[in-house]
Amino acid sequence: MTVEDIKNGQVLLIDKPLEWTSFQVVNKLRWAIKKQFKLKKIKVGHAGTLDPLATGLLIICTGAFTKKIETYQAQEKEYTGTFTLGATTPSYDMETEIDQHYPTEHLSEEIIKKTTENFIGEIEQKPPIFSAVKKDGKRLYELARAGETTEIKPRTITITQFEITNIQLPEVDFRVVCSKGTYIRSLANDFGIALNSGAYLSKLRRTQIGDFSVKDALSIDDFLNQLSNS
């Protein structure tokens, strides 16, 4: 990798570690690239945020390729992860504590797998209150953390595949292929409601964005080692 490569544009596939924000990954790479090539500034951006509690594929673009970010963001995405049934949290994931418990005795493997069919195709989905979606100029999570309630308008999204890959109640493993704008946290919450129970997202990994796979992604450390040897 040369300084010309970086300026002309590179697509870097990074396997985001747990508890890092997508912004922190971008900052780390930008700093390392500037240091390696003695640059005062270089454009570096990511094509689609992953929550700190999620891992997996993050597309990082440099230089002229930052203009392609919207194209990559619009592509279909694949996720794997785990829903924990029988409880909910305000954030729909493990960022916040459990606020309610629900029965799971009525749930069978057949019911759980059959219920996925309710979510295939074009559906309406409300983003979580703990999300970066803006309303009246403020992020929803800012309103949520301030204890403010607000009406969230649903969005139209598309889920092309939704399968249950393992069931060890209360945990249910899944794989989802979906459009841009899909919140897997909201899917967890809605799935719990459809099961006449509750559910929250307890594990999430992004495995694919369009034709890009996490199998081809580097850890941050591996990228930094590769960079220092270039």
Which residues are catalytically annotated? 51
> What's the CA gap between 184 and 74, in Å, rounded?
16
- Specify the amino acid at residue 226: Q
Taking each continuous run of H as one helix and of E as one strand, the counts in the chain are 7, 13
For residue 218, what are the contacts with CB-CB under 8 A and spacing of at least 6?
Answer: 12, 13, 14, 15, 226
CB 173 within 8 A of CB 188: no
Q: At which residue do the structure tokens 């220092």 appear?
A: 228
CA distances from 48 to 34, 37, 39, 147 (A): 23, 26, 25, 27
Q: For the chain, where are the E strands, in sequence order?
A: 11-16, 44-46, 54-62, 77-85, 87-88, 100-101, 121-125, 134-135, 138-139, 155-168, 171-178, 199-209, 212-213
> What's the CA gap between 64 and 45, in Å, rounded?
11
* Residues paired with 168 in a beta bridge: 171
